[in-house]
Amino acid sequence: MAAAVNAPRSGYEVLRRIRGLIGFHRAMGIEVYPRSGGMRRFLEMTDPGTGVPAGQKAKGTTRPGQAADGRTGSAGTLLRALRQEVAACTGCVLAADRLGVVPGRGGRGCRLMVVGDWSAQDGGFAGEILFGPDEDVMLGKMMAAIGLAPEEVYVTNCIKCCPAGGREPDSACAAACFSFVSREIAVLEPPIICAMGDLAAGMLTGRKEPLIRLRGRFTGCRPAASAVVMPTFHPRLLLRNPEMKKAVWSDLQAIRRRLEGKSG
């Protein structure tokens, strides 16, 4: 009988596939497996290298979450599922009186992901306001200044709930919420992430230094080895301290050079 396509050829290969699948499923937010099914069905669920069921021949180099014709088909489905999960989340103290949840927004084949701390809104709540009404205007200008169109950027926050009463979420909220942004990164696979603000920079780099020391250089990304993080100041800080714009401009220029394929 002919061997099935993609059938593991050795014990080592089986272990390699299991390890790859577990890593892939964790990145997709799957923490628990049903007891039934057995190893064979488990191995047949999805090939982490191709995003297609094992046993089916991969056509081309489609990434997980990306349809064969280049459109992000299941990425949209994964992000929609994530949004529903966020809307129902009660994982930290913010859930009790949040103004609402603010999902990420932007191009699914983004060249740059921007991750801020949280959406701060003190008037009426709007789920489209990512960082804050004035902060979003400033962010749009920053992206345009480095030549990025809106569809080339995906913007999101480390903390998905918009807190009531101007409350400032703490690191416990950021830790509780971290799996959501990690999963956005796993789905979208951005090559470069700009972390704006102390919380975002600390969570994404896993480093405890103050932002003033972290900013200005590319650093490894805690949730995704394939991405680099440029920590910089949040537009909220720039609105209060315009003199900090020069430092942020320098960080954005480093991102622009990296996007152009020049060293950071």
Chain contacts with ligand SF4 (rule: CB under 6 A): 86, 89-92, 94-95, 159-161, 173, 176-177
Helix (H) and strand (E) counts for the chain?
A: 9, 8
- Shortest reach from residue 68's CB to ligand SF4, in Å: 33
The whole-angstrom separation of Cα 170 and Cα 199 is 8
Q: What is the closest distance, in whole angstroms, from the C-beta atom of residue 159 to ligand SF4 in the complex?
A: 5
Query: How far apart (Å, rounded) are the C-alpha atoms in residues 213 and 217?
Result: 9
Give the nearer residue to ligand SF4 in terms of CB position, either 177 or 195: 177
> Within 10 Å of residue 191's Cβ, how many Cβ atoms?
15
Smallest distance from ligand SF4 to CB 104, Å: 12
Find the helix packing angle between 133-145 and 245-259, rounded to 10°: 50
Query: Residue 236 or residue 258: which is nearer to ligand SF4 going by CB?
Result: 236
Residue closer to ligand SF4, measured from CB, 101 or 148? 101
CB of 177 vs ligand SF4, minimal distance in Å: 3
CB of 161 or CB of 194, closer to ligand SF4: 161
CB of 90 to ligand SF4, least distance (A): 6
- Closest CB to ligand SF4 among 89 and 224? 89
φ, ψ dihedrals at 239, nearest 5°: -65, -30
